[in-house]
Every structure is written in structure tokens, then in C-alpha cells.
Amino acid sequence: MQDYSLYVVTDEELSYGRTHREIAEQAVRGGATVIQLRDKTRSAHDLFQIAREIAEVTRRAGVLSIVNDRLDIALGAGADGVHLGQDDLPIAVARRLAPPPFLIGISIHSIAQAEEAKRQGADYIAVSPVFETNSKSDAGPGHGLRMLSEVVHLVQIPVIGIGGINHTNLHHLFDAGASGIAVISAIVSAPDISAAARAMKEQILSLTLHS
Amino acid sequence: MQDYSLYVVTDEELSYGRTHREIAEQAVRGGATVIQLRDKTRSAHDLFQIAREIAEVTRRAGVLSIVNDRLDIALGAGADGVHLGQDDLPIAVARRLAPPPFLIGISIHSIAQAEEAKRQGADYIAVSPVFETNSKSDAGPGHGLRMLSEVVHLVQIPVIGIGGINHTNLHHLFDAGASGIAVISAIVSAPDISAAARAMKEQILSLTLHS
């Protein structure tokens, strides 16, 4: 079973100068279980090189590497999977090109999209966004969190949440049955990425040990 | 042997409202032998749908469909090949993911890039640009044309030219040994795409019949 518990999405625009690779290395050192490379601006050539470096970092650590959107880059770089959005290649097409054990994840914004994702062969689902904003992240269970809970009960594949998740609210997701949390700024923007990841990981371990 | 003689690159920004699919249909009706779908702005989801439609149009006509940059979309949509730039996925990586008869083409800007492309397994090479500008397109053989001629003699795979090619200068390319010409505006911006393609095709046929 894959461990999606602490899923870190790299983002160089929020990282105060740290590169995708540095984010990946530091997050993995802190206990991240999945690294998703996400970059909408670089060339395919650059992304491929970065994806290959990250796949090496994660392989050594025994964690998963995922590439956002580009299935060809993910396959070429030896990543473990691809993460698709609703505007990307249809899951069924990606599944045909990349059979298991290659992982295909997808962001969903409704119950109908979650059912369709499962039908088309997704390996995991990311409910997005769970929380509306970062600034109101401790407002408690919201629309996204209720949807997450419904999706968990509906599909028999791992479900993670993304959007506005930090150390003050992550327990809600595991309470709702999530297999993991996907975080960007809470880790990527932290002064010490590794320490931020480690703190979240310890919280997750204590939550999941008691469940 | 593939027929690269009249290779049309779709471009909705230069087509006065005609869609990629309409460009493809009309160019094929006029005798285009290859259609390359090129669009840097649409989502992967939209590109995939368009690529699938174009692959159907070209399959019915017995001509080739190529997708720019995105190998995953090309493979998923059942296109005949992908066209890569120097900033895209390395050819050797694409070749590994997509063995022959899937076609891999690449734009090159130097002799060294042409040699490297052949070494990595490219099926054809596009010398770009052959002419510096559209407005001086009948200025005769230039830097690009000399490079094209060198590349033709160096590599034993089909070589096409792109950049500033129109009905007044296309004969230079076939004189230089090109297997074909790639055109965008000369066909895509024409009031009648089909007629513009047909006129070029007739010129190409008369040139290649006499050679």
C-alpha cells in the first residue's frame, strides 16, 4: 500500500528561492512520503531534468515521486506517477498509456468527478480545495471537508485533501478518513522546510497511530 | 517512405478564426501531406480532443498527423508522431517511450543539433528558420538554406525546412535537397486554405517530378 500521508507539492514561486530539488530533498528529510513536482512555466526539457533528479532523491529515500500534468515527462524521468487535473489528459487515456504500478492521481471538485475518476482507473483522488483560504484555515470542517468524507466512503481508493491545510487543521482530514494531506505553502514557504515537514509528520503519526 | 513534401503547421492565432480542425480539413483537401497540431495556450484536455479529431481527418485522407511538443497527447490521441523543439523532451527519451513506427521530428538550428538528433533516433529534421523573415522571403538562398543543404548531405533521414517559406521561394528548398517544406502563414492565413495548399502542392509536384 502506498503511503500518501504527507504529500508535498513543490512550488518555486512560494519557496523563497529554494529550487524544486532543494524542496524535495528537505521535505523528504523531514519525512514527506510523496513529492509532486509542479511547475507551469518551465520548458519540458527543464522539467524533465528536474523530474529525473527528484525521482533519484525519492528512490533513495523509498518515497514516491509524482509529476504534475505531464505524463510523458513522468514516464521519461522514471517518476512513480502523474497527477492530473480536470483540464489535463483524461485519466482513461493516461491509464492506457501507463498501466499499473505507475500511479495516476487526480484532483476532483465534486462527488461526480470522484466517481468518474475511479471508473477511469485513478489510483488516488485529491479533493481540492478542502479549505477555502489559508487565512481561515482553522475555521473547522467546511464544504471541502464534507466532500472529502463522502468521497472516502464512496470510492475504495486512497483519498487525500489539498488546499489551506496546516498544522492547526490537518487532524480534521484524518478524522474524515483521508489517507493523507497534500501541502504546498505550509511546508514549501517555511523557513526550515525539513523541520516543517518533520513537525507535520509527527502530528500525522500520532493521529494515525491512535486511529 | 513518409511523404513530408507539404507539411502544414496549424496556428489559430494566424488563421482568422478558423479552428485547428478546420485548418487541417482544408489543408488536407488541398493536398497537405502532414498536419502538425501546434498550440501553446490550450489545456492538455482540449489539445487531446483536437489531436484526436485531426488524427481522424488525416487517417481518412492517408496523410500524417503530428502533435507539437506533447508526446503523451500524441500517443493518447493516436497521432502518427510528435514534433519536438530543443526545449522539449530529449529525443532519446521520447524514442524510448515511443518506438517506431511512431514518428519523432525535431527542429534544429545548427549542424551539431542535426547530428545529435539523428544519433538520438529522430525520424526527420526540420531546419528552422530557413528564411529570416516573411517580408524578404524571395531574397534567395540564405544562412538557413545553406545549413539545410549541409544537413541533407550529412544525415540520411528526411529534412524539411520551415520559416518564411511561400510560393515564391519554395523551389530553393527542393533544389537544396529538402524532402518537404513546413508552412504556417502561407497556408493558414490564406483566404482559402484549401486553394493555397493546392497551389503549393502543384508547384511541389512539378518540381519533384522534374528532379
> ipTM for the complex?
0.93
Q: Which of B43, B45, B93 sits opposite A76 (nearest CB)?
A: B93
Residue A27: HSE in the Cβ half-sphere, 13 Å Cα cutoff: 36
Q: What is the pLDDT of residue B150?
A: 97
Indicate whether B139 pLDDT > 80: no
Do residues A79 and A105 touch, judged by C-beta distance below 8 A? no
Residue B78 touches partner A, C-beta closer than 8 Å: no
Residue B90 touches partner A, C-beta closer than 8 Å: yes
State the total domains in chain B. 1
Indicate whether A45 pLDDT > 70: yes
Q: What is the pLDDT of residue B211?
A: 58
Residue A1 falls within a domain, yes or no?
Answer: no
Q: Which of A45, A69, A89 sits opposite B88 (nearest CB)?
A: A45
Which residue is listed with cell 511523404?
Answer: B3
Residue A118 falls within a domain, yes or no?
Answer: yes
Residue A129: HSE in the Cβ half-sphere, 13 Å Cα cutoff: 11
Mean pLDDT calculated for residue range B162-180: 96
Do residues B81 and B19 touch, judged by C-beta distance below 8 A? no
User: C-alpha dihedral over A87, A91, A93, A98, to 10 degrees?
Assistant: 120
Q: What does the alpha-carbon distance between residue A85 and residue A88 come to, in Å, rounded to a whole number? A: 5
Residues of B involved in catalysis: 38, 107, 136
Q: What is the pLDDT of residue A1?
A: 84
Query: Which of helix, strand or coil describes residue A124?
Result: strand
Q: What is the pLDDT of residue A7?
A: 98
Mean pLDDT calculated for residue range B108-116: 97
> Which residues in chain B have Cβ-Cβ distances shorter than 8 Å to A69?
44
Q: Which of A44, A86, A90 sits opposite B87 (nearest CB)?
A: A44
Residue A37 falls within a domain, yes or no?
Answer: yes
Residue B76 touches partner A, C-beta closer than 8 Å: yes
Average predicted confidence (pLDDT) for chain A: 94
Q: What does the alpha-carbon distance between residue B35 and residue B49 come to, in Å, rounded to a whole number? A: 15
Residue A105 sits in a domain whose CATH number is 3.20.20.70
Mean pLDDT calculated for residue range B156-166: 96
Q: What is the pLDDT of residue B1?
A: 84
Mean pLDDT calculated for residue range A49-59: 98
Percent of chain B predicted with pLDDT > 70 = 94
Average predicted confidence (pLDDT) for chain B: 94
- Among residues A38, A42, A52, A201, the one annotated as catalytic is A38
| Closest C-alpha to A172, from A131, A133, A123, A125 | A131
Q: What does the alpha-carbon distance between residue A45 and residue B109 come to, in Å, rounded to a whole number? A: 16
Residue A75 falls within a domain, yes or no?
Answer: yes
Residue B57 falls within a domain, yes or no?
Answer: yes
Q: What is the pLDDT of residue B210?
A: 65
A35-44, B12-21, B128-137, B179-188: least confidently modelled range? B128-137
Q: By residue range, what is the domain housing residue B89?
A: 6-209
The answer for residues whose C-beta is within 8 angstroms of residue A42's C-beta and 6 or more apart is A50
CA B73: distance to chain centroid?
17
Residue B73 touches partner A, C-beta closer than 8 Å: yes
Residue B1 falls within a domain, yes or no?
Answer: no
Q: What is the pLDDT of residue B111?
A: 96
- Answer yes or no: do B94 and A76 touch at CB < 8 A: yes
What are A63's strand-pairing partners? none
The type of residue at B39 is D
> Which residues in chain A have Cβ-Cβ distances shorter than 8 Å to B90?
45, 48, 76
Residue B79 falls within a domain, yes or no?
Answer: yes
Long-range Cβ contact pairs of A113-122 (< 8 A, separation 24 or more): A113/A86, A114/A151, A114/A154, A114/A155, A114/A159, A115/A154, A115/A155, A117/A91, A117/A155, A118/A155, A118/A156, A118/A157, A120/A90, A120/A91, A120/A92, A120/A95, A121/A91, A121/A92, A121/A95, A122/A91, A122/A157
Residue B199 falls within a domain, yes or no?
Answer: yes
Q: What is the DSSP letter of A129?
A: -
The bridge status of strand A180-183 relative to strand B159-162 is unpaired
Percent of chain B predicted with pLDDT > 90 = 92
Do residues A128 and A110 touch, judged by C-beta distance below 8 A? no
| Nearest C-alpha in A relative to B87 | A45
Q: What does the alpha-carbon distance between residue A56 and residue B53 come to, in Å, rounded to a whole number? A: 38
Q: What is the pLDDT of residue B209?
A: 81
